[in-house]
Structure 1
């Protein structure tokens, strides 16, 4: 099997000179009963990510800027123990997160001379992350397990926001000349949409701008510097959650050939739709009095190298 690795890395560092970092355990009242539990890590359930207009005629070009949208439910958190949270249609409440990230392609190269862009670099040029609590009282249940509408991730009560500033990524394609079904989670709900096959990871980070202390304590914008590291895997096709038909209000555009991902040939502007599985933890820098910051490490927001492909027979 032919394997190509697309390296997408950003050599960026948060400018916090002299600050020393150490892991932080925050307090989390997850069920709103007034009792806070220790939380040193947050495990997001596999979610959906969509890079809108990331491909122009199946290719990427230096200077291209596009927006990646992400949504997922919080599946569990760890501290003194591991606490599972309701996801899908379980109820009676849920925690959801959305991100909107602007990305810029900074370098592309075909290192093998075969017409395939093997090496791509990009940087994040802005974005936001938001986390919600929803008691499902008159709102929509976010459910990518038994459904695929993609609704309900950005409603409920806002409990945390952050501005995204940094990041980098890599993505590996396995045999880019062949494709597979995009929806491999249970039955195919997308009617045969095909995708390139691959996986990778990325990282983003930025300052926390708001936190609701009724839910989270130990994150204190304006006084301490807090980093939440979000470590995830991105993949196509989807095998742990349904590929949803709306991602933060965006409808995927797979192009006239109904193929998800890069290709050779004039296709106009197309999106790339992929699964993103994230983890989040907290780190505090206390020696510099800067705002709290959020590090979302390995979410799955990527700049893609274009590859030639054919529909899977």
Structure 2
């Protein structure tokens, strides 16, 4: 089977954290504890651009990387969908997820990529689609480097569209780094919860995502000083059986812009610092307060 051949990028890891369990409090009550969010068959469109002069290329094969830095492609992946399941939900789901309400998301990832003919140990043959079937030849690949990414999550009230909280953004995640899995079309995004978009004050958003172990909402945790990192690992793979490794297709005569469409499956897992770590943070803050009071007493 033809495969993407991807380079690996391994960077530093976050401090000790635990995966789940998480619960959600919506207009229909609180869910049972769950470990992950799952999404499948979500459409993704990748848009590629290059720095070559107009008329310099006629198809994607003219963009094969051969050491010419001008053939580095800029790409932007955008898409949207809904999380089909909270995995696993223990017992009966009395909250009506996917019947009364659901979480949808929008995402955008960007970076640079190389369209490579014959990644080692495979020899180049001058084409990445020798049989013109729109698929990468075996041994060829698109090698991306992700530099930025964001996922926005939204609450949707299916039973009462247009209600007060319908369409509210409830969370935002930003990309730290990506780990590409060699010889597969898979990538792991290491992200973190980021409340930079939100000014607080909406009780629905404040209490939507909750960490079961600490008993605190994600927003409460974000307000600690310093705030702990709530990590999010997204396992992302392109699984469309009809186009598992489609090459970018030119969208105009000069091939200035190329696009590629596919489906992806994903599993996202939150990891929150252990309660003991948060307790240490709290003790540190208490100590600072105590020291301040001692200094104030001496000054008096």
TM-score norm. by structure 2 comes to 0.61
Determine if the alignment matches structure 1 residue 278 to structure 2 residue 266.
Answer: yes
| Inter-CA distance 163–21: structure 2 relative to 1 (3 Å threshold) | same
User: Residues 5 and 170 of structure 1 are in contact (CA less than 8 Å); yes or no, is this contact kept in structure 2?
Assistant: no
| Inter-CA distance 20–54: structure 2 relative to 1 (3 Å threshold) | same
| 1:136-194, Cα deviation, whole Å (9 max, x unpaired) | 4556xxxxxxxxxxxxxxx811011011131144597xxxxxxxxxxxxxxxxxxxxxx
> Partner of 2:209 in structure 1?
216
Looking at CA atoms only, which structure, 1 or 2, has the larger radius of gyration? 2
| Inter-CA distance 284–35: structure 2 relative to 1 (3 Å threshold) | closer
| 1:233-272, Cα deviation, whole Å (9 max, x unpaired) | 3134569xxxxxxxxxxxxxxxxxxxx6336996441211
Q: Distance in 2 between matches of 1:281 and 1:82?
A: 21
> Partner of 1:21 in structure 2?
17
Q: Distance in 2 between matches of 1:238 and 1:6?
A: 15
| Inter-CA distance 284–14: structure 2 relative to 1 (3 Å threshold) | farther
Q: Which aligned pairs between 1:1-313 and structure 2 lie closer than 5 A?
A: 3-14=1-12, 16=14, 19-29=15-25, 31-53=26-48, 57-58=59-60, 59=63, 61=65, 63-77=72-86, 78-81=88-91, 83=93, 91-105=99-113, 108-110=116-118, 111-117=122-128, 118-136=140-158, 137-138=160-161, 156-169=167-180, 200-210=185-195, 212-218=205-211, 219=218, 220-221=221-222, 223-236=227-240, 261-262=247-248, 267-285=255-273
| Inter-CA distance 216–133: structure 2 relative to 1 (3 Å threshold) | same
Q: Distance in 2 between matches of 1:106 and 1:262?
A: 11
Structure 2 residues without counterparts, runs of 5 or longer? 51-56, 66-70, 129-139, 199-204, 212-217, 282-300
TM-score norm. by structure 1 comes to 0.59
Structure 1 residues without counterparts, runs of 5 or longer? 140-154, 173-198, 240-259, 291-313
**Which has the larger helix fraction?**
2
Aligned length: 221
Q: Distance in 1 between matches of 2:156 and 2:180?
A: 31
Q: Distance in 2 between matches of 1:102 and 1:274?
A: 16
